[in-house]
Structure 1
Amino acid sequence: MKSDSPLVTIGLPVYNAEATLRSAVQSIIAQTYPKWTLLLMNDGSTDESCKIAKSFGDERIRVVSDGMNKGISARLNQAVSMSEGKYFCRMDADDIAFPDRLERQVAFLESHPKVDVVASSIAVFRDQGNLYGLIPVPESHQDICGKPWKGFHFFHPTWLGKTAWFRAHPYTTRANGAEDQLVLYSAYRESCFAGLPEVLLGYREDGRSFKKMFSRRIAFWRAIAGHAVKSGRWTDACLLSIIQPVKIVADFLNTELGIDRMRNRLDTVDPQTEAVWQELWRNMVRLDDQDDRKGRPSGIDR
C-alpha cells in the first residue's frame, strides 16, 4: 500500500445490533486496504451493542455514544462531519464487507476522479450464511439514474465516495427509511455515480415483513414525491404515484401469499462469489467462536 494512499472514513450507525455488529466490524478489520478509520455511531442502543463496539482492540476504531436516539440520518451526518479522510464509506451493522471492498472502490475512484460515489453489487444472505442470490448494480450514471421515479438501484451500504460530496448533500431526518434515496434524487443531476459489477458486500435479509416493507415504501413515496413537487418535477411525482401502489401490492403478494411474479428476482450466485463468501463466512464464525470462549457477546446469529 502506498504511503500516500487516501484515508477512508467509514460511518457505521448502530442501534440494538448486538447479534450482528461484531461480524460487520470484523469484516472491516479484515480489509486488504488498511488506511481507514471506523466511526461506530451508537444511536442510543438498549442492548449490548455499545459494549461490543468498545471491545475491539484496534486504534482505527472510534466509538461515538451520547446515550441519545437521533435516527440514522442524524448519525450519518454526524459521521460525515467527523470524517478526516478524502473518502467517506457507508456500512451497516448487519452486513459483511468482502475483504477487498475498500481496495477495489478506492482504486476505482482514484482512477476515475469525476465520479463522486461508487457502489457495488451485493450478495443476499440469510439464516446461517446461506447465499440466496445476487443483486447487480448498474455500472453507468445514466443507467443508475435513468428512471428516478422508480428508485435508484444503488445500494446504500456499499457506497464509497468523496467526503466533500457527502458534506454537500447531507441526509434529511424527515426521510428516515428512505434517506439514501432522497440524497440520490436531490443530487443526481449535479453528480456522477458509478457501479462496480463485482460483489463486494454480503447483505443480510433474515426477516421480511409486509409491515416493514410497507413503511419503507411510504417513506420513499413521501420523500421523493415531496421533493419532486417542490422542484417542479411533476412528471416524476405522477409516475411515482402510479408505480408505488403497484410495488406495495407486489410486496403484499410476496410476503403474505408467496407470489413473486411481480417482483424482481435475484441473480444466480456464480461459483467464484460463492467460494469467496464461504471462506469469509467461515472466518466470521471462527472469530465468533473465539469470542464465545472469551465470554464476549456473540456476533453471529446462532
Structure 2
Amino acid sequence: MHPLVSIGMPIFNCEITLISAIKSILNQTYRNWELILLDDGSQDKTLSIAQSFPDSRIKVITDKLNLKLPSRLNQAIAISNGKYFARMDGDDISYPERLQKQVEYLESNPEIDLLGTQFIVFDRYGNAKGKFKLKESHSEICSRPWSGIGLGHPTWMGKTEWFRTHQYRPKAIRMEDQDLLLRTFFNSKFACLPDILFGYRVDNLSLKKSLIGRYNLSIALVEQAWIQKNYLLAFGVLEQLVKASVDIFAITTGLNFKLLKHRNGSFPLSEDDLSKWQEIWSECSKEANLKVKI
C-alpha cells in the first residue's frame, strides 16, 4: 500500500539534532507516511544515524554530493509515493498531531494546494523562545507579497503533483520558499492551520546567509514583477535593502536577537504552549541524550 504522505527531509551535518527530528515523525498520531532522508554530503555522523533506524517507512538516499536544499527537495518530490508531500528539516521537531491535522484539512479542502501551520521557535537546549501568528486564508497570506508571503516553509504539506508542477529553483539559495510562493501565489491556493504543530530551531544568526537570501529574493521580486506585470513586487527590493541594513547592524554589533527579536517569534508563549512544548521536547530528545534547560 502506498503511503498517503511523503515527508522530504534533506539532511546535512546534523548529527546532534537528527535523532530528535526523526523521533518526532515516529511519534506521529498519523501512521500512513514515508520519510525520505536525503543526505547532502554530510561530513559527520549524520548518514550513519539516518541509517540506524529500522523502520521500513524510512528511506535513506545518499550520493556523497552537496547539492543544497532546493535540489534535494526536488529529488525528494520526484521519488515520493504519497498523494501529499510534507517538508521538514533535520534540526526541527513536528508535534505529534501535525501530519494528522494537515491530512484531515487537505482531504476536506481539496482546493488547497499548500498548507502550513503555526510554529514556535526554540534554541539548542530546547528552550521555547516565542511563537508566530501567521495568517490563515490565502487572501491574507498573500496580501503583501512584496513584503514576504507568510507561510512557514518547514511546516508545509501540499499536493505532491503541485510540487512536481512547480519545482524549487536550484539558484534560489536561502529563499527557495519565497521564490516558489512568488511564482505561484496568483494561480494557486494556500492556507495555514491555526494550531501550533511545529518547533523551529534557531541557534544563531548568520550574516552571510541572511544577505545571500535577501540578495536572491530581491532578484526574484524584480523578475516576478516583470513576468506577472505586477510592478508592486519590485518595491519589495527597497524593503530587503532596509532589512539587510538592520541585519548588518544587529549582527556586527553583537546585538543579534536583542534587536532582531522577531527571529525568535513575535509573540510570547502561554503556559499551555510551554507545557505542551516541554512534553514534546522531552519525549523527542530522550534518545538523543539531550536535556531541557529550564
TM range (shorter): over 0.9
- Conserved 8 A contact 1:122-1:199: yes
Please name the residue that 2:244 is paired with: 248
* Pairing 1:175-190 to 2, within 5 Å after superposition: 175-190=172-187
* Pairing 1:1-302 to 2, within 5 Å after superposition: 7-237=4-234, 239-257=235-253, 258=255, 260=259, 266-289=266-289
How far has the Cα of 1:39 moved from its partner? 0.2
Relative to 1, partners in 2 of residues 1:136 and 1:262: Cα closer, same or farther, differing over 3 Å? closer
Distance 2:210 2:248 in 1: 9
- Conserved 8 A contact 1:23-1:300: no
Distance 1:32 1:244 in 2: 40
Distance 1:28 1:262 in 2: 29
Distance 1:236 1:87 in 2: 30
How many residues were matched structurally?
Answer: 289
Please name the residue that 1:292 is paired with: none
SS at match of 2:280: helix
Question: What letter corresponds to residue 272 of structure 1 in structure 2?
Answer: D
Gaps of 5+ in 2: none
Q: Deviations over 1:125-172 (max 9, x none)?
A: 013100110012210101111111111110110000111111111000
Distance 2:77 2:172 in 1: 17
Q: Deviations over 1:78-135 (max 9, x none)?
A: 1111111110000011101111100111111111111111101110001310011001
SS at match of 2:100: helix
Report which stretch shifted further, 204-213 or 74-83: 204-213
SS at match of 1:199: strand
Gaps of 5+ in 1: 290-298
Report runs of 4+ in structure 1 exceeding 6 Å deviation.
299-302
Distance 2:160 2:203 in 1: 31
Relative to 1, partners in 2 of residues 1:40 and 1:5: Cα closer, same or farther, differing over 3 Å? closer
Question: What letter corresponds to residue 273 of structure 2 in structure 1?
Answer: T
- Conserved 8 A contact 1:19-1:300: no
Question: What letter corresponds to residue 229 of structure 2 in structure 1?
Answer: G
Identity within the alignment, %: 40
Report which stretch shifted further, 197-206 or 261-270: 261-270
SS at match of 1:118: strand
- Conserved 8 A contact 1:14-1:40: yes
How far has the Cα of 1:262 moved from its partner? 9.2
- Conserved 8 A contact 1:122-1:134: yes
How far has the Cα of 1:192 moved from its partner? 0.6
Q: Deviations over 1:187-218 (max 9, x none)?
A: 11111100112111110001113232222211
- Conserved 8 A contact 1:144-1:152: yes
TM-score (norm 1): 0.90
Q: Deviations over 1:208-256 (max 9, x none)?
A: 132322222112212232233344332211x112211111122234334
Distance 1:23 1:179 in 2: 25
RMSD: 2.1
Distance 1:100 1:5 in 2: 21
Distance 2:270 2:42 in 1: 37
